[in-house]
Homo-oligomer: A and B are copies of this chain.
């Protein structure tokens, strides 16, 4: 079993780019990753591509071959779809295949084009990540689903809207210097609290935006990195995936995310690390409450303690465990199929020291990426480590 290095990372800007097609976005991100890696395009042996709603936003399925074309490579390419965890599951499979010697050079990435749809259309399109028969037809949308999760959390463990507002404030602050981020501006707790209600207790500033964008990473075997003298100092040492029932009604407790816990435990065991070893994390904060659930699922905080982590400064960039230094889904943006690999792209840069926010984690050696699908019916966790 060989080890897996991240040789390169690339992202488009995240934002409202309604006139750019998915292929155009992925061409930019994928080629940036390959250039960053310094690998020859003809060495790429496969493309593992995440996309969520191309059928609805671009009337386009079968996007694997288009992704390879956009990248300019002639290699087998497969599209993975696991709602908001689409590129996370694609990445996981690429990690396994490099590790197991199936390939030396793979590109994992993803794209989403969303803002060409109206708000009503994109809300309806996003709803396909929930259970059509038992949730969507009953009126559930994602803000509504996460609002139910927040309500359940508050009831069981306490917490307030103000606690959640601090998550949004933190992530906006982190995004200020990130030129890939959709919202490069700070917000205040008062602004978050005063923003319009979306689904009680969640308000506008508790929610991530609708975003277009693409991301990609180049994975190589350690042997390939050495033979080709690549600058690939970050390794992916752990991967884990978990699953849960699709509909909230079928879960034992919607104030927890057991699929993410399962994924995290597998990834930590795989890497041989514990939550205490983690220096920096990118977690799936599609809503502020989602970051809270992630912090607890990942073992960083006990149940009921994640909700005050941002407010208490534990997860801010000056805290013990900076979370979402990229700005997170909240401020960096959430082009659904691109999010999983963008987290790993951000962590790679943070760990190798060339991220705008690397100065806040100068000694970081271990990073964790947490990517969730739907209301965490699927979850993928990866552990990254400085390798040299």
A residues adjacent to B (C-beta < 8 A): 21, 23, 46, 52-53, 55-56, 58-66, 68-69, 74-83, 89, 93, 96-97, 100-102, 127-133, 136, 241-246, 250, 262-263, 373-374, 377-378
Closest 7 CB pairs of A and B: A62-B83, A100-B100, A61-B128, A65-B377, A76-B241, A55-B55, A62-B129
Residues of B within 8 A of A243 (CB): 64-65, 68, 74-77
- Across the interface, A246 reaches (CB within 8 A) one of B59, B62, B133, B263, namely B62
Residues of B within 8 A of A21 (CB): 133
- Across the interface, A60 reaches (CB within 8 A) one of B46, B96, B128, namely B128
Whether A66 pairs with B100 at a CB distance below 8 angstroms is no
Whether B55 pairs with A82 at a CB distance below 8 angstroms is no
Q: Which residue of B lies closest to A48 (CB)?
A: B93
- Across the interface, A65 reaches (CB within 8 A) one of B60, B128, B244, namely B244
Docked CA distance A101–B270 (Å): 14
Docked CA distance A250–B72 (Å): 13
Whether A52 pairs with B61 at a CB distance below 8 angstroms is yes
Most chain B CB neighbours (cut-off 10 Å) among A82, A129, A130:
A82
A62-B128, A62-B129, A100-B100 as given contacts; A246 in contact with B69, CB under 8 Å: yes
Whether B62 pairs with A81 at a CB distance below 8 angstroms is yes
Residues of B within 8 A of A241 (CB): 46, 76, 78
Whether B89 pairs with A100 at a CB distance below 8 angstroms is no
